Structure 1
């Protein structure tokens, strides 16, 4: 019981110093207070990992600093959209057709001879150069180019694709995605 009381007293004693450090990091008192509160909550939650007899203040300052940096990283990934304008403008194509196309592609890819499948995956999926693929396949660069060309031709036949305009969303999806938003018409 005394260890818990000592821990609690140590937390309370450290608050003014934690707050001063937090203000130096955050620049504003309200954000600093939130940071100190989060630090204390984390410390209380993790008190079992604190080694009695070690420097509690240093441990708390480390938690505070790490929490500050975590919040900064999180803020760097977040986008401010208070009025919802960015959210309204976001739109995606339906996924159903893409999943079906991928299933068809995987089935067609499985029908290719092993050497052609290996070559097209090395070049098309992994982004290796022809030279790198040739080294992996232990063959000449021209052989890899030939295998890729034959694989592309065979995939086009198996998938019934005659030109690149047949890839991507269909005409209806494209029309819906490119329509002007209400209130944004120029």
Structure 2
């Protein structure tokens, strides 16, 4: 079978799998709209990575694995989100001055340039782009443990290059942190 016919067959098989994918997605999340989003994301990832699918193996199992991974990745992301329907948390946020922000950014860019290419790629994929270790490892074509190790070494090297000694040194300067930590008086949002 030639490549065009093979791709057409795979496309038809992908389309034929949509009802099963929707049922599985709905069973995972219990929300039809979210299930449709999961199926869409699964199909996009599958189509994008079609070259990694081995023809003759179980396409449905491959698609279900992608859908499951997408679901759990989204679930992990949502755990870090805070519900703020009434704006109470947003009202307590303070904006820090931008004077030093540009300089910190320039220092970070310079430090990133000094990292080994594999470490720079790893920390950008995981730290800046928000990919999970699994996704970043897949993108970089390495094992998950290798990706975790690269990110860890990159973070330690960045801390050294930037002269940071503890996690407390990330974010606003000490004076701004003190101001931001002060609770507003009762009745003031």
TM-score class normalised by the smaller sequence: 0.5 to 0.7
SS at match of 2:73: helix
Of 49, 54, 64, which aligns to 1:51?
Answer: 54
Partner of 2:70: 67
Within the alignment, does 1:180 sit opposite 2:157 as a pair? no
Instruction: For residue 96 of structure 1, report the CA deviation from its aligned partner.
Output: 7.0
Q: What TM-score do you get using the length of structure 2 for normalisation?
A: 0.52
Q: d(CA) in 1 for partners of 2:6 and 2:68?
A: 25
- Bigger CA radius of gyration: 1
Within the alignment, does 1:169 sit opposite 2:175 as a pair? yes
Worse overlay, 35-44 or 83-92: 83-92
What are the superposed Cα offsets for residues 109-130 of structure 1, whole Å, 9 maximum, x if unpaired? xxxxxxxxxxxxxxxx68xxxx
Q: What TM-score do you get using the length of structure 1 for normalisation?
A: 0.52
Give the total of aligned pairs. Answer: 116
Of 24, 28, 38, which aligns to 1:35?
Answer: 38
Q: d(CA) in 2 for partners of 1:175 and 1:66?
A: 41
Instruction: For residue 83 of structure 1, report the CA deviation from its aligned partner.
Output: 4.0
Superposition RMSD on alpha carbons, in Å? Answer: 3.2
Any gaps of 5 or more consecutive residues in structure 2?
104-164, 167-173
Of 1, 6, 26, which aligns to 1:3?
Answer: 6
- Distance 1:91-1:9 versus aligned 2 partners, 3 A rule: same
Partner of 2:161: none
Partner of 1:160: none
1:94-105 mapped onto 2 (5 Å cutoff) = none
Given that residues 93 and 169 in structure 1 are in contact (C-alpha distance below 8 angstroms), is that contact kept between their aligned partners in structure 2? no
What are the superposed Cα offsets for residues 116-146 of structure 1, whole Å, 9 maximum, x if unpaired? xxxxxxxxx68xxxxxxxxxxxxxxxxxxxx
